[in-house]
A and B are shown apart, each in its own frame.
Chain A
Amino acid sequence: MQTVRVGLRSGRLSLVKTPNQAAKWVLPLIFFGALFYWPLGRILSMGFASIGFNSFLTPRVLSLAWFTIWQAAVSSILALLFGIPGAYVLYHRSFMGQRFLRALITVPFMLPSIVVAIGFTAFRALPLFSQIFNGHSSIPIIICANLFMNYSLAVRIIGALWSVLDISTEDAAALDGAGRLRIFISITLPQLAKSVTSAGALIFLYCAANFGLVLVLGDVTTRTLETEIYMIANENLDLTKISGLVLIQSVITIAAFTVVQRFSKGQLSFNGLTSLTPKPRIDRRDLSVIAITLIFITGLIGLPLLTVMIRSFQVGDRFGLSNFYNLASHGARDLLPISVGRGAVNTFRNAGLTTFISLVIALTISFLISRTSESNSQRRFFRVMDILFQMPLGISTLVIGIGYLLCFSGGILPLRSSWLVVPLAQSLLTIPLIIRLVYPAFVSIDNELLESAQTDSANVSQIWWLIELPIIRDVLLIATGYAIIVSIGEFGAASFLAYGDQATLPTILYQLISRPGVQNYGMAMATSSILIVFAFLVIYLVNSFDRGGLEIHLRAKRDYTTLR
């Protein structure tokens, strides 16, 4: 809570405190109460009504929890092992094509997890790998897909800190004849420890919730807590079991989240992140690290992406465009309720609304929290609010989907029949993330500026529109981008809520890949390759539009966001 105290101590907050503050909490509280706590509470109460709390810890459930944890742990350790050399090469040295590589490794992170899963079904089928992957368990391929998605997170989080490290100690040690590896272990690594830990925990968090990946790539024996929830919801609808699994998933998520929070504290700053000191050029002594990094990027990032691109043009034994023409169709035997094109329209429409709703609500909440005064009771109130609004991060999105079907089918809020239901559910996932981005920015606004504005008799709304908003504009742009990405790729809640003519790209892709006849498989590949190109273009544009910007974005993300 360091950042909070910075804001509170300054004492500015009481200045702009308005009497009708309580009223302003009503909107976010009603929003979360009705759209999150009600459906969640309903599922849990139905789940635990018939049976005792302790009966869900069966050996089967424990083994699911164990698998969820260890595949995530192995993935994050491997991501760090490859990520540290990657961060060194891409952020602590300079060479031609560095920016291209930085953009390339970010592509997987931007992709919907279902697209990654589809990509790895093609990757697994490559003649080169089918020997390795076929006939064995699907765990290696799941871990590869985890690495593919999260490598950039490790590289960027560690690299961001590495690029601003003071290198004079290292230089001095080098002058004294210390080898680079020794310098790294004894001088650099301790300084990077915090970012390594927070990157590891963040990757763990993502990998523990990689529902789409395991659902598509996993075989009978590989199940995580979330795929089990999905399976039960589509077979027995055993709400007791579902509730138990949800709670265990939450414990894991919240524990990892706490670690992220702990280790990313005290690194709050939105300015001066771009390093001004030029990086040393890469040289021969870096050869081994370069080799590791290039092999990793080529083999586990470039190759899967390329495989999907090539597969998307493959029609039978020849190449052609028919997979792309087929996107206007409904798939083999009319599988899809709508064409992929219509699905894309739905997806982007949802993303737009999700972003709008979550910005409005998250800004309101951040604004209100940043105006809390220093008194103890206020602080306690703030903490309660903070936890209240962060809770969706700890709850499996699948449950939100099931809960919505249950609560909003009739009654006073018959939301389910409206297309709004998907964006509303997705907003719950993005609001906590946006709060974590925007709130610190609010607090970091220079207090004197606000005070002098007040002295000049500016009112609250003028201060907001003329001073605060312009200052947090950059952060808002990041938040917007983030909300859009999350919404486009969201699969858990959508798998229950987005069907029929409201299907979204992830749910359509899952239908296609679950029925991999020649035509459907080709369509899944074509859609995936379009999304890959789209992601690459966005990253490239952002990069060239604002050179330092993306670094700031990702640092900000490191500091304040997690998951989904």
Chain B
Amino acid sequence: MKLSRRALVSLTVALTVGILLLAINLTGSGKTKDVVLVTHDSFVMSKEFIADFNKSSGFNLKLLKAGDVGALTNRLILTKAAPIGDAVFGIDNTFQAAALSGKIIDGRLTPTDFGDVCFNYDKIWFEKRNITPPTSIKELTLLQYKGLTVVENPNLSSTGLSFLAASIDKFGATGWEPYWRSLKNNGVKVVNGWEAAYYTEFSGSSGKGAYPIVLSYASSPASEVRANGKSQTANILDGCFRQTEFVGLLKNAKNSAGGAAIVKYLLTPKFQASFPEAMYMYPITPGTPIPPAWSKFTQIAPHTYGDTLNFDANRKSWLAKWSAIFG
């Protein structure tokens, strides 16, 4: 194929002009009616809710998923001069302090929902083998539970970090490292994220993995109800961590009014009621109706650990110490 000189020149010029036009067009977007809600990857808001919000507020809602809670928070910190949205949903109590000291939030973070990070176990697995399932996190270090537990890496997973915090709170500054060492010696498996732990490694889920004890949520048994009307899994209600998620307005937001409107909307009763089914979390507003399966198969932990620790000040040293045990 031989291109004539003229053809090449005009092609080049056309391409350059085209790209410039596109660029100008795209960077100039963002009408004042648009409101961008930045969320973590697990946020779910149905089309009906989006339409309802748009109708009631007069704004045009756009969702922007920006990674896991860590990636989300740090992305917002790096870009705070010109934030990528107007409001943020999904910063939790493990990143709350980082978000506040990073000065990305206008005003305060408002809690929207919570969930208890607890161990689940596969009831059928234990019944078949006639082994009594563990009732506390301390028991996970016992010989009879050797090689049965899978947890998430706290460096990469907020679920994993939650349990690390709970163990630090429960066993104290001098006790948590020996606890993790004995967990390691007892063959605990560490994987990168919740989905890998729950869907790939755990024996009680659809993945039919090899580990009958998994670090998950107190609400998870509601999703494992079998044909006989019983859940295959149950909670270990000791050593749980209460994860609370927040919504907040971003500093320097282009559309503060729109941001404030979406913050408010996430706290309306109808949206609050969607949290269990859509995001497997409990609504923060007391008295919000809960799905029947939830009231039957899930419990809220009677006592939780670690959720008020100072993550911003200690995360680095906790993770370094934890990594030293597993590195």
Interface hit among A183-191, A304-312, A373-381, A406-414 = A406-414
Is the C-beta of B199 less than 8 angstroms from some C-beta in chain A? yes
> Shortest distance in angstroms between A171's beta carbon and chain B's nearest beta carbon?
42
Give a binary string over A349-363; 1 marks a CB under 8 Å from any B CB, 0 the rest. 000010010001000
Given contacts A337-B63, A353-B19, A418-B27, contact A237 B77 (CB under 8 A): yes
B residues less than 8 Å from A22 (CB atoms): none
Is the C-beta of A530 less than 8 angstroms from some C-beta in chain B? no
Give a binary string over A392-431; 1 marks a CB under 8 Å from any B CB, 0 the rest. 0000000000100110011100101111100000000000
> Shortest distance in angstroms between B225's beta carbon and chain A's nearest beta carbon?
17
Is the C-beta of A298 less than 8 angstroms from some C-beta in chain B? no
Q: Is the CB of B64 within 8 A of A219?
A: no
- With both beta carbons as reference points, the residue of chain B lying nearest to A464 in the complex is identified as B5
Give complex CA distance A410, B195 in Å: 36
Is the C-beta of B142 less than 8 angstroms from some C-beta in chain A? no
The one of A469, A470, A516 in contact with B199, judged by C-beta atoms closer than 8 angstroms, is: A516
> Shortest distance in angstroms between A479's beta carbon and chain B's nearest beta carbon?
16
Give complex CA distance A300, B320 in Å: 36
- With both beta carbons as reference points, the residue of chain B lying nearest to A416 in the complex is identified as B79
Is the C-beta of A234 less than 8 angstroms from some C-beta in chain B? yes
Interface hit among B65-73, B108-116, B120-128 = B65-73
Instruction: Give the B interface residue count (CB, 8 A).
Output: 53
Is the C-beta of B81 less than 8 angstroms from some C-beta in chain A? yes
Q: Is the CB of B191 within 8 A of A219?
A: yes
> Shortest distance in angstroms between B317's beta carbon and chain A's nearest beta carbon?
10
Is the C-beta of B289 less than 8 angstroms from some C-beta in chain A? no
> Shortest distance in angstroms between A138's beta carbon and chain B's nearest beta carbon?
11
The one of A234, A411, A465, A516 in contact with B74, judged by C-beta atoms closer than 8 angstroms, is: A234
Is the C-beta of A235 less than 8 angstroms from some C-beta in chain B? yes
Docked complex: B154-191 residues within 8 A CB-CB of A:
155-156, 190-191
B residues less than 8 Å from A410 (CB atoms): 81-82
> Shortest distance in angstroms between A66's beta carbon and chain B's nearest beta carbon?
12
The one of B81, B155, B195, B316 in contact with A514, judged by C-beta atoms closer than 8 angstroms, is: B195
Given contacts A231-B155, A337-B64, A470-B2, contact A221 B27 (CB under 8 A): no
- With both beta carbons as reference points, the residue of chain A lying nearest to B69 in the complex is identified as A234
> Shortest distance in angstroms between A215's beta carbon and chain B's nearest beta carbon?
9
Give complex CA distance A470, B1 in Å: 10
> Shortest distance in angstroms between A413's beta carbon and chain B's nearest beta carbon?
11
A residues less than 8 Å from B195 (CB atoms): 514-517, 520
The one of B5, B82, B200, B327 in contact with A417, judged by C-beta atoms closer than 8 angstroms, is: B82
Is the C-beta of B193 less than 8 angstroms from some C-beta in chain A? yes
For chain A, which range describes its interface: under 10, 10 to 19, 20 to 34, or 35 or more residues?
35 or more
- With both beta carbons as reference points, the residue of chain B lying nearest to A333 in the complex is identified as B44
B residues less than 8 Å from A360 (CB atoms): 12
Q: Is the CB of A409 within 8 A of B79?
A: yes
Q: Is the CB of B81 within 8 A of A356?
A: no
Q: Is the CB of A334 within 8 A of B44?
A: yes
Give complex CA distance A521, B68 in Å: 18
Is the C-beta of B23 less than 8 angstroms from some C-beta in chain A? yes
Q: Is the CB of A514 within 8 A of B193?
A: yes
B residues less than 8 Å from A518 (CB atoms): 199, 206-207
Q: Is the CB of B82 within 8 A of A414?
A: yes
- With both beta carbons as reference points, the residue of chain A lying nearest to B147 in the complex is identified as A135
B residues less than 8 Å from A127 (CB atoms): none
Is the C-beta of A63 less than 8 angstroms from some C-beta in chain B? yes
The one of B68, B78, B194 in contact with A237, judged by C-beta atoms closer than 8 angstroms, is: B78
The one of B15, B155, B196 in contact with A516, judged by C-beta atoms closer than 8 angstroms, is: B196
> Shortest distance in angstroms between A267's beta carbon and chain B's nearest beta carbon?
29
- With both beta carbons as reference points, the residue of chain A lying nearest to B161 in the complex is identified as A235
Q: Is the CB of A236 within 8 A of B315?
A: yes
A residues less than 8 Å from B12 (CB atoms): 360
Give complex CA distance A60, B322 in Å: 13
Q: Is the CB of B320 within 8 A of A500?
A: no
Q: Is the CB of B44 within 8 A of A220?
A: no
Docked complex: B1-57 residues within 8 A CB-CB of A:
2, 5, 8, 12, 15, 19, 23, 26-27, 30, 41-42, 44
A residues less than 8 Å from B63 (CB atoms): 337
Is the C-beta of A511 less than 8 angstroms from some C-beta in chain B? yes
A residues less than 8 Å from B44 (CB atoms): 333-334
Give complex CA distance A178, B191 in Å: 55
A residues less than 8 Å from B67 (CB atoms): 234, 499
A residues less than 8 Å from B319 (CB atoms): 235-236
Given contacts A236-B316, A237-B74, contact A499 B190 (CB under 8 A): no
> Shortest distance in angstroms between B71's beta carbon and chain A's nearest beta carbon?
5
> Shortest distance in angstroms between A250's beta carbon and chain B's nearest beta carbon?
21
> Shortest distance in angstroms between A261's beta carbon and chain B's nearest beta carbon?
32
Q: Is the CB of B192 within 8 A of A514?
A: yes
Give complex CA distance A165, B200 in Å: 51
Given contacts A418-B23, A500-B65, A516-B195, contact A238 B82 (CB under 8 A): no
| Minimum-distance CB pairs A-B, first 6 | A410-B82, A410-B81, A515-B195, A409-B79, A405-B78, A465-B5
For the A-B complex with A233-B71, A235-B155 known, give 19 more contacts whose Cβ atoms are closer than 8 Å: A60-B323, A63-B327, A220-B153, A220-B326, A220-B327, A234-B68, A234-B74, A237-B74, A402-B78, A410-B81, A411-B81, A418-B26, A418-B27, A499-B65, A499-B67, A514-B192, A516-B196, A518-B206, A521-B199
Contact residues of B with A, CB < 8 Å? 2, 5, 8, 12, 15, 19, 23, 26-27, 30, 41-42, 44, 63-68, 70-71, 74-75, 77-82, 84, 153, 155-156, 190-196, 199-200, 206-207, 278, 315-316, 319-320, 323-324, 326-327
Q: What are 25 A-B pairs with beta-carbon distances under 8 A?
A: A60-B320, A220-B323, A234-B67, A234-B156, A235-B70, A235-B74, A235-B155, A235-B315, A235-B319, A236-B319, A237-B74, A335-B41, A353-B19, A356-B15, A405-B79, A416-B82, A420-B27, A466-B5, A470-B2, A499-B67, A514-B192, A514-B195, A514-B196, A515-B193, A518-B199
